[in-house]
Structure 1
């Protein structure tokens, strides 16, 4: 920014020469000698592309959310179409040079950032997939509970969810206190430890093995929990950068960048199901039909967990050596606020100013996880309704689930495609997803006998798959994004981790409750969480679609310095505030003209601070050198050696063994 302001130049029509704009966005009397110093139009021309980028403002400087609805729709459509055309041209240029280069780009920008989520999803949803196989191979343990304790069998799902909750809160705090990079590395290492335990788990009895299996999942769950806040914050902040000025890529594609990493969760489910099918065919002599031998089940179980262990080991390496700048934005914010360690003041201010947002992100995630984990962890029970024969044939249930995962992936990708569209975006997407899940569960709840009969089974099947689609194309993707997006950088991981942990309480509720109620009763219970999630979203969640994240950080600087009423920017525009915040009058400070002057002043303050820091560093280096020279000359004076040929900066070199031998020989 400083270089940009310092070197920006204008053509002078009077002198037919080039004159420099004042150092920094200064327009005061000290720069009266500059011909354009007091020209507001000239100032706006200089800073328009910084303060009023064309993807968010009209040529007249009107913010897109201030436009009448018909003009807003046209502006958004034009901007998105231009960006889409630009991206298509870029893809075309890449393919001319290398036809496979778009694949490489996708691997670097979507697969790698979401690798941790893909691996944890693979393991997480193995539980629901492996349970039918365990029940078929060890019915006395997993079905009738004659040789295994029923509570420990049920604890397999409980303990994993508890581990996730612990990891989300703990690693969220660590990620804000120590840094994103260490949080990412730590997650991968804990997941690796958990996978080693899963592969090696054993017991002197079947019940002993179940106990070991459950505690291994608890350890693994801690790493899984940490992946949520760390992946979300890292993916968002790496795209945003640490300076005051954001990029067009961030403004137009921030949501896509985060959700493309998040949708690796869907691919984790997909590959888990595919690999389990392949392993069962390999170890069960090419057949997926019962009965299933205990040896084949052991091999399927252990190899299926050994595969992600290899991937997680690579993830540890990648995060350790290839992500040195993961904490760059967090460090920049802390440095500016003169904070080291955990920023407790920001945490207190966040709960005070953004308490309703925490309720929105945590409450929405809770409602979503009753749907999501109820659907996934106990999907075998739902599939039995669709395909009654799957109760005896594990392969049949797995194939139905594979189809369901494919439908879910379509929802993930469509969410990624539309989540940054200003005419639709985060809030509408989450509300629609909750509403559709409510409808698709409440209809079969009150007509259960018909929809599970031969006449209605296909309609039931369609509703079940559509519920999976709208869950991904809605609350499951949006909750992950907004829980990081609506909070300031210093406590972003903590707020995200807390929201996710409350969400997992919904998963815990589902995992406990679903063990004690029938399938039909589940349909009576679940829909109301969809309705509740929709209402929480409508009232308490702000819409950050199209909001420059740097503006939110700028507003936070004003809040932290006790000047909330002096912020007049778009972060308090009614478009980006929740209904609750608007009713409280937070949007009353929005004023584009006052905000323009505030931005100029903020940029000037940034520039002057950087110049002062630069001068301080230069003076510090000079004073250190002067102090060193003074000490050297004092030494010479004390020893009586004032030879001008002795160089103060010359350092004594350490002697080598050969030097010592030569000195001894000379003596």
Structure 2
């Protein structure tokens, strides 16, 4: 039997869309803008780092990062993100969402600046400093995932909750777009250095001192939006669901939400005490009761996010290699170092503008109509289709006349990733678990995703090294490397589609109904029954 809901929580569930909803979206969303910018801007500068620090004097070809260094630069922030998601997810349930929320931003500001401030000219010191700060930058970014999702889900009404959480996550698309645009502006501003007579002898392999400023400015820029958001994060009240259901302070929850909603809300301290007594000793994360009620849900959210991020981060971090492979970005030996940053930034911006950003906002528009389950299943399906369509006739796409078609189809994989599982895997874990474990379970799910991202980053790099060397001078080096990688990503997306059947639909229901917090302890929750029904349908 469902219990009677606290008035403060019911008021949040039925509240009309108000200014505070949009304020919360902007405050949480700016964190995700910064997250995406910081994680993906490194793809703009890795080739430039190779030219600056690994060029051999007298060698005609531009310098490149050794595979182990490239893997470290690309993957170390993901390792930090995984650790941060687990730690801050747990801390958000122990200390409260608001108290931890500011910590993550401070870490991001400090480490964004630190990433570009290695003053040594010795390459090992520069790379070591960059990797050190990018690990801790990722640690702060990791905390933003469970906290932003949980805060937005606990602030939102049940009718448009999916759109609000999706809007926060959609700022990731603007972060990717912003990274490309900053790369374009900074590289264009510094490119005149290569036109100086000093470098007229060999403008391709020569790299002026000013080029060292380009990558530093790009990676440090991420501190600006994070710093601008800090004050407003500290002004947000703690969520009523944490205050009432976890901290057991009905009076403060009612007071905070009365100011936010601008309505009078009764504290209902006696009702909260009664609910607390009825629940008795609540089950923990590692209990049999949790396994029975939410074990399949946690398996569904972790597995789908894990599989999705293998594909998604492979695509984003190494799209420059794929575009070079099919000739859309010219070979490095045909342009100078900063021109290469400009053209990589231009390609990233175009893909983000035409497919990545629209995909996020399609999710915002349709998620509360179509539901999470349908969008996630659809996204995985079309990602699988387009990956195989690119991989199987791969040599066909390397022909010059087919390159634009390749880029268009590749863009569709980004569109359906974002109008699909990249958004829903972020939303669902913030809705279906109990308030006292919500941030922790979201952190675990997100960390599983980052484990997939690490596999994607290192795995794709290894595959890209396995290329047909005879193609190198032709301008599209990978023969078997890129093709096999795309086939593997297609298989992974198909598996993600299958594991989606473990994830329940959460559209239009209160968080307490979804998590079973309104249910008596006996029997199985409706959500668990629904998951089993999904499994039956899949069979």
Q: Which residue of 1 aligns with 2:356?
A: 408
Of the candidates 398, 401, 412, which is equivalent to residue 452 of structure 1?
398
Q: 1:524: which partner in 2?
A: 487
Asked if 1:303 corresponds to 2:217, the answer is yes
TM-score by length of structure 2 reads 0.79
Relative to structure 1, is the Cα distance of residues 148 and 473 closer, same or farther in structure 2, using a 3 angstrom cutoff? closer
Relative to structure 1, is the Cα distance of residues 132 and 458 closer, same or farther in structure 2, using a 3 angstrom cutoff? same
**Alpha-carbon deviations, 1:364-406, whole Å to 9, x = none?**
0011101110011111111113435433341223212111011
> Which residue is equivalent to 1:265?
172
CA distance in 2, matches of 1:181, 1:109: 12
**Contact 1:203-1:212 at 8 Å conserved across structures:** no
Note if 1:312 corresponds to 2:229: no
The Cα of 1:227 is off from its aligned counterpart by 0.7
Call closer, same or farther: CA 1:329–1:145 in 2, change over 3 Å: farther
Work out whether 1:231 is the aligned partner of 2:192.
no
Q: What is aligned with 1:502? A: 448
Higher relative contact order, chain-length normalized (CA < 8 Å, sep 6+): 2
Identify which of 503, 513, 533 aligns with 1:541. 503
Change in Cα spacing, 1:390 to 1:571, as seen in structure 2 (3 Å) is: same
Q: Greater shift after overlay, 503-512 or 130-139? A: 130-139
**TM-score, normalising length: structure 1:** 0.64
Please give the alpha-carbon distance, in whole angstroms, between the structure 2 residues aligned to 1:206 and 1:273.
Answer: 25
Identify which range, 273-282 or 311-320, moves more after superposition.
Answer: 311-320
Contact 2:383 2:417 in 1 (8 A): yes
Whether the aligned pair in 1 keeps the contact of 2:372 and 2:507 (CA below 8 Å) is yes
**Matched residue, 2:467:** none
Instruction: Provide the residue aligned with 2:386 in structure 1.
Output: 440
Moved more, 294-303 or 165-174: 294-303
User: Retained in 2: the 8 A contact 1:284–1:296?
Assistant: no
> Whole-Å Cα distance in 1 between the matches of residues 62 and 93 of structure 2?
44
SS at 1:427 equivalent: helix
Asked whether the 8 Å contact 1:187–1:224 carries over to 2, the reply is yes
Q: Distance in 2 between matches of 1:315 and 1:490?
A: 26
Match of 1:379 among 305, 319, 338: 319
The answer as to 2:518 corresponding to 1:563 is no
1:332 maps to 244
For residue 200 of structure 2, what is the aligned residue in structure 1? none
Structure 2 SS opposite 1:390: coil
Q: Indicate which of 69, 74, 88 corresponds to 1:152.
A: 69
Q: Residues 281 and 308 (structure 1 numbering): CA distance in 2 closer, same or farther, change over 3 Å?
A: same
SS at match of 1:486: coil
Q: For 2:191, which of 276, 284, 296 is the aligned residue?
A: 284
Distance 2:356 2:193 in 1: 28
Q: Residues 117, 389 of structure 1: CA spacing in aligned structure 2 closer, same or farther, 3 A cutoff?
A: closer
Native 8 Å contact 1:361 1:483 kept in 2: yes
Equivalent runs, 1:114-513 vs 2, <5 Å: 114-140=29-55, 150-203=67-120, 205-239=122-156, 250-285=157-192, 293-320=207-234, 322-323=235-236, 325-334=237-246, 335=248, 336=272, 337=276, 345=284, 348=287, 349-392=289-332, 393-394=339-340, 395-406=342-353, 407-421=355-369, 424-513=370-459
Flag the 1:483–1:281 CA change in 2: closer, same or farther, 3 A.
same
Count of residues paired in the alignment: 467
Q: Take 2:511 and 2:206, find their aligned partners in 1: how far apart are those partners?
A: 54
The Cα of 1:506 is off from its aligned counterpart by: 0.8
For 1:194 and 1:214, how far apart are their aligned partners in 2?
10
Q: Which runs of 5+ in 1 are unaligned?
A: 1-23, 26-46, 56-82, 91-103, 240-249, 585-667
Q: Which runs of 5+ in 2 are unaligned?
A: 196-202, 249-271, 333-338, 464-480
